Structure 1
């Protein structure tokens, strides 16, 4: 069975409300969908959600790279030749991880459909009974964030993650307000998205010691591993690295330096499921708990991340929340309270609405 066709769609998904983090405000979510078809008529779907501040890619550049550089290389390839395909991609172009992820995810969707197996069965099997998801609250006034958190907990969520990364003083107020709103039993996670200096990070962590934060994620700039290590050494809570690790080579440096306690794996940073598995394996060898994070992907990218999270015991948490944030998605993802459901259906286990994708496609 060979690949005969690759279609690429640059679309924008409507958000329920603006998504605001330390470096950007998004009123809708620009994304790229890929559709790979075999000579026997089977179809696999993938997705890229580039972030020029994280992956170094724009929406437009990612579309062009997939369409003109990477997709043509797949024609007449076997969908199972994932290692060979990634090597070809990497020889062709440096970086461009979300572009590569869009095709990698579609290949895994295809492999699952060809074999009649869900993706998680192809990459390790079921390592968890369920995948519990948090609710993610973007940057707002402290009172608004506290109200959102209170409402989410009332609706059954047991984990709250808040976006911060403005000023230390304002973020301390935000963290304290949310903790007070949700009580002591609900887990609280804090993500600065590189928004603090070393001094600001230390101040926030010190002054929120009574807030029982599970971990502080990427407090400083992605390249500043020395500051991250210094923060980790004096922190009462775990420090998670996110933007600072894209590839397995990055993770080697982090481990050697002892710069973080935990790792946030994102398919859009790593280049897809195949290289993300390498990150999880190295992290497991180093006893570094992992999370599968999200760039606020549609059902396609979300389910790819969910299958990855299900397949590895070292991946202890996830943020498969994208579908909860869209007014309308390209496929239905089933949530049971605050858990995301994976079926035994082959591939990613979702039915993609091709008509809707074409409706929201810009080019």
Structure 2
């Protein structure tokens, strides 16, 4: 199996309201990048990276140039056993882990498909039956934040980030 094509999509995710962070930083739209690695066998692996502005050391507009630079290493390579290929990518382009995370995810997706296993089984086991979600509360007046938490709790949320 060889990688034959890389496809990237930029998808703007606009919130229904502006999210307020510490230090008066705000965010109303984040750009997620969805990546597909296609193979000569017809299998495709999928990955995604969604850097949040002002929050993580990642730059959404840097994903495409980084993946474009890495394409010469990826195309024609075997996706099976991602560690070796990821090491080659790290040698070719140090850093930019955020951009490489989408590639890594897609390679593991392909490896699991080739093994005819769900990815969680390939990685060891399913640790919990359901993945708990959390509600991230915007930084506004404390009473308003508390109301957001109460409303989310009433809708079933049990984990919160402030």
Q: Distance in 2 between matches of 1:7 and 1:63?
A: 10
Secondary structure of 1:44 counterpart: strand
The equivalent of 2:114 in structure 1 is 114
* Structure 1 residues 93 and 55, CA gap change in structure 2 (3 angstroms): farther
Query: Shift of residue 52 of structure 1?
Result: 6.3
The equivalent of 1:98 in structure 2 is 98
For the pair 1:150 / 2:150, whether they are aligned, the reply is: yes
8 Å CA contact retained: 2:2, 2:76? yes
For the pair 1:35 / 2:36, whether they are aligned, the reply is: yes
8 Å CA contact retained: 2:4, 2:39? yes
Q: Distance in 2 between matches of 1:153 and 1:160?
A: 9
Q: Distance in 1 between matches of 2:55 and 2:148?
A: 27
Query: Shift of residue 101 of structure 1?
Result: 0.3
The equivalent of 1:75 in structure 2 is 75
Is there any run of 5+ residues in structure 1 with no aligned partner, and where?
163-363
The equivalent of 2:46 in structure 1 is 45
8 Å CA contact retained: 1:55, 1:96? no
1:196-345 to 2 correspondences below 5 Å: none
Q: How high is the TM-score relative to the length of structure 2?
A: 0.88
1:340-355 to 2 correspondences below 5 Å: none
8 Å CA contact retained: 1:120, 1:126? yes
Q: Distance in 2 between matches of 1:93 and 1:42?
A: 26
Secondary structure of 1:100 counterpart: helix
Secondary structure of 2:160 counterpart: strand
Query: Shift of residue 55 of structure 1?
Result: 5.0
Q: Distance in 2 between matches of 1:29 and 1:56?
A: 14
* Structure 1 residues 46 and 134, CA gap change in structure 2 (3 angstroms): same
The equivalent of 2:89 in structure 1 is 89
* Structure 1 residues 55 and 138, CA gap change in structure 2 (3 angstroms): closer
Residue-by-residue CA offset, 1:99-146 (whole Å, 9 max, x unaligned): 110111111222222233221111111222332222221211112211
Query: Shift of residue 10 of structure 1?
Result: 2.4
- Relative to its length, the structure with more strand (as a share) is 2
Query: Shift of residue 17 of structure 1?
Result: 2.3
8 Å CA contact retained: 2:81, 2:111? no
* Structure 1 residues 112 and 15, CA gap change in structure 2 (3 angstroms): farther
8 Å CA contact retained: 2:51, 2:58? yes
Alignment root-mean-square deviation, CA? 1.9
